[in-house]
Structure 1
Amino acid sequence: MINKRLRIMIADPQHHQRLRLERDFNRQGYYAIAPVSSLDEMLTLLACGGPGFDLVLVNASLGAHERFDLSTFCLHSPQVGQAVIYALPH
């Protein structure tokens, strides 16, 4: 059975991409979604403590701009359950 209470973070610098992903999740019944637009926002929200996120979707460009290793961070962060790091064509 699908758990509709999953906590999801969408980290993407493009507003329309965050909005599209959030709407797609909403259509499936997921509403605990935190959209963020920068690496700083993502790291701040993850550092706040609390239950963390079951799923983090992050655009690879957020880490590339700051030479931040998103993969290693997501693998070792206790606040990230599962992560999907994606890249969009320009």
Structure 2
Amino acid sequence: MPNKALKIIIADTHLPKLIQLEKSLNRLGYFKILPVQHFDDLRALNHELLEPFDVIIANKALTLGNPTHSNLLWQSLRRFNYALLYDDEKTLLDDDSMRRVMARIDPPSPWECLKDLTWIKFRSDHRPGCSCQRLTCP
């Protein structure tokens, strides 16, 4: 079961890609997602008074051609626990790849495999601390 408190930023200049990534994360159970389309918005989120985000998934094209933006992005990445920078032309981020990425970031509980088991609870008619000899206590 996904960590519902995980806060994720998606940064991409292409709106359809932002929507696709957000829907993919929603299908995986993550809903605290902030899509960002411009670098200036991402820079504003780097303020120290704001509560930090846990994960950033960003397209490298946000900083393309601007060394100042590249330096600011690398400095802001220190505030995140996890960062995934991708190249839109070389990286395919579909539902399956997002599932694998999020499994590394937010691993499932070791008890997850037990959720599908049928549990049987045996009913005991004998109350603890009762000294009666009958099968059922009054």
TM range (shorter): 0.7 to 0.9
CA distance in 1, matches of 2:30, 2:2: 10
Alignment TM-score, normalising by the size of structure 1: 0.83
1:75, distance to aligned residue in structure 2 (A): 4.1
Give the % identical residues.
Answer: 30
What value does the CA root-mean-square deviation take over the aligned residues?
2.1
Paired letter, 1:23: K
1:64, distance to aligned residue in structure 2 (A): 1.3
Is 1:69 the counterpart of 2:67? The answer is no
Partner of 1:7: 7
Is 1:19 the counterpart of 2:25? The answer is no
Count how many residue pairs are aligned between Structure 1 and Structure 2.
88
CA distance in 2, matches of 1:47, 1:89: 31
Where in structure 1 do 4 or more consecutive aligned residues deviate above 6 Å? Answer: none
Is 1:30 the counterpart of 2:30? The answer is yes
Greater per-residue strand proportion: 1
- Is the Cα contact below 8 Å between 1:74 and 1:83 reproduced in 2? no
1:72, distance to aligned residue in structure 2 (A): 2.6
Alignment TM-score, normalising by the size of structure 2: 0.57
- Is the Cα contact below 8 Å between 1:38 and 1:62 reproduced in 2? yes
Paired letter, 1:69: S
Report the 3-state secondary structure (helix = DSSP H, G, I; strand = E; otherwise coil) of the residue aligned with 1:19: helix
Gaps (5+ residues) in structure 2? 91-138
CA distance in 1, matches of 2:30, 2:38: 22
1:45, distance to aligned residue in structure 2 (A): 1.8
Paired letter, 2:14: Q
Gaps (5+ residues) in structure 1? none
